[in-house]
Amino acid sequence: MTAQFGAKSTTDEVLAGATLTGKRVLVTGVSAGLGVETARALAAHGATVVGAARDLKKAERATEPVRRDAAHGGSLSLVELDLASLKSVRACADRLTADGKPFDVVICNAGVMATPKGKTSDGFETQFGTNHLGHFVLVNRIASLFRNGSRLVNLSSSGHRFADVNLDDPNFERTPYSEFGAYGRSKTANVLFAVEFDRRHRGNGVRATAVHPGGIMTELGRHMTPELRQMMTKSIEDANKAGNLPPFEWKTVPQGAATSVWAGFVAPADLVGGKFCEDCQVAERNENPAARGGVRGYALDPENAKALWAKSEELVGERF
C-alpha cells in the first residue's frame, strides 16, 4: 500500500527508506529556500543533483548543507542560470546538452513573486518571463536529456487562482498591472506548461506535473511591500472565514519542499502526470473563490495549454 502523506509531511518523511543512488536530477533555484532543501533531501538519499542558480557564489554558500548531508553516493554540482535572460538560459541548456548526461527528474523550482512592474532582459514582463518563459526554453532545449520514465515537476502555486494567462497581452502593455495578477498569470502558465509537456512526451515515457508547495516564509517574498504582504494575509484569512476553514498555518521549508519530492519520486507517474498537486496529493478542481485548496479548471484546460505553448514559442522565437 502506498504511504499517505499530507500538508505536514516533510521531505525526509516522504523519502523515508528510498534509495536514489544512480538518479540524476536538475533543480533550479538552489541559492535559497525550497531549492536548497529539495537538493539536500535528494542528495542525502543518493541522488546526483545538478543545481542551477543565477548567483553561483550565493548558491555555493547556501548549499553547504547539501554537501554535508549527501550520502549513498549523492552529490551536488552547480550550473549558472539566470531565468530572466534567454541568453543565459540557452547557454545553460547548451552546457547541459553538451555534457550529454540524462536526467531522471527536472524540478523547475526557481521563481519570483509579486515584483514591481518591470521587464526581463528580453523585454518580457518580469514574472511571466522569469517564472514561465525562462523555464519553457530551458526544459524544451534539454528535452532530449529526459530518460524514459523521467518526470518534469513545475513549481506553481495556489496563486494561479489570481489570474488565467492573458495571451493577447502577456506583457501588460494594455492591461493595468498588479503584482499578484502578474504572479497569478505566471503560476497558471507553470501548470499549463506541465499539462502540454505531459501530452507531448508521455508517449515516450516522460511525464510532467505541477505542484503548489504551500505557504512558506522564504526569499520568494522579498519583493513584497508590507502593504502587499498584509493584503495577501487578509485575503487568505477572509477566504478561510468564508469557507469555515481553520486558520492558515505557514509550512516549514522541509514541509514545503515535500510535494515536489513526492511528485517527482514517490507518487505513481500516471497519478500525477498532467495534474496539479498540493500537500502531497493530487488536487481536485475547485472553482469556489472561497476555497483554500484545489485547482482552477483553466489551469488544466488542454486547449489553453496548447495556446500558451504556441504563444510562448512565438515570444521566444523558437519552435519545440
Q: Which of 11, 5, 4, 10 is nearest to 25 (CA)?
A: 11
**Active-site annotation holder among 9, 150, 156, 312:** 156
The answer for 153, left when phi > 0, alpha when psi is -120 to 50, beta otherwise, is beta
3-state secondary structure 19-85: CCCCCEEEEECCCCHHHHHHHHHHHHCCCEEEEEECCHHHHHHHCHHHHHHCCCCCEEEEEECCCCC
Q: Residue 238 half-sphere exposure, CB side, CA atoms within 13 Å?
A: 7
Beta bridge pairs of residue 208? 152
* H helix count then E strand count, the chain: 13, 8
Encode 279-291: b = buried (16+ Cβ within 10 Å), e = exposed.
bbbbbeeeeeeeb
Strands 276-278 and 281-282: antiparallel
Closest CA to 209 of 261, 118, 276, 145: 276
Among 179, 172, 161, 158, smallest CA distance to 125 is for 172
Among 9, 85, 150, 183, the one annotated catalytic: 183
Alpha carbon distance, N-terminus to C-terminus of the chain: 39
Whether the Cβ atoms of residue 5 and residue 214 lie closer than 8 Å to each other: no
Active-site pick, 23, 31, 157, 187 = 187
**All three cell numbers of 270:** 500516471
Between the alpha carbon of residue 170 and those of residues 34, 124, 165, 177, 189, the distances in Å are: 27, 8, 7, 11, 11
Query: Residue 260 and residue 41: Cα distance in Å, rounded?
Result: 11
156 is catalytic: yes
Q: Could you list the active site residues?
A: 156, 183, 187
